[in-house]
Amino acid sequence: MIPLSSYLAVSSVLFVTGLIGVLIRRNFIIILMSVEIMLNAANLNLVAFSSYLDSMAGQIVALFIIAIAAGEAAVGLAIIIVVFRGRIATNVDQINLLKW
């Protein structure tokens, strides 16, 4: 049996990967992907804890997070497409109308 700590190590690596991806990548699609990686790190954590603690709550939370991540991608891609149509831009640096 794989010990809990291995799951936690993988999920931490995933989470940090997503975090760094959001902070340093410039393309919106890739930022969105990085956020999905962060959410999936949380899912992995939840399912691992759920099996380790023998409690159902974690798995239920993970299911809801998956559903919400899907909705998030739908709304986000729609907004990205609107911006792309108006400005032909998918990079963070090109979106700079609003600043003081």
Which string of x and - marks every residue 16-45 that binds other proteins (by CB under 8 A)?
Answer: --xx--x-----x--xx--x--xx-xxx-x
Cβ proximity to other proteins, 1 vs 31, nearer residue: 31
Which string of x and - marks every residue 43-82 that binds other proteins (by CB under 8 A)?
Answer: x-xx-xx--xx-xxxx-xx--xx--x--xx--xx--xx-x
Strand partners, 10: none
Which residue is listed with tokens 């739908």?
74
Write 39-47 long-range contacts (CB < 8 A, 24+).
39/65, 39/69, 40/14, 40/69, 41/11, 41/12, 41/14, 41/15, 42/11, 42/15, 44/7, 44/10, 44/11, 44/14, 45/7, 45/8, 45/11
Are residues 36 and 14 in contact, defined by beta-carbon separation less than 8 angstroms?
no
Cβ proximity to other proteins, 6 vs 64, nearer residue: 64
Interface residues with other proteins (CB under 8 A)? 8, 11, 15, 18-19, 22, 28, 31-32, 35, 38-39, 41-43, 45-46, 48-49, 52-53, 55-58, 60-61, 64-65, 68, 71-72, 75-76, 79-80, 82-83, 86-87, 95, 97-100
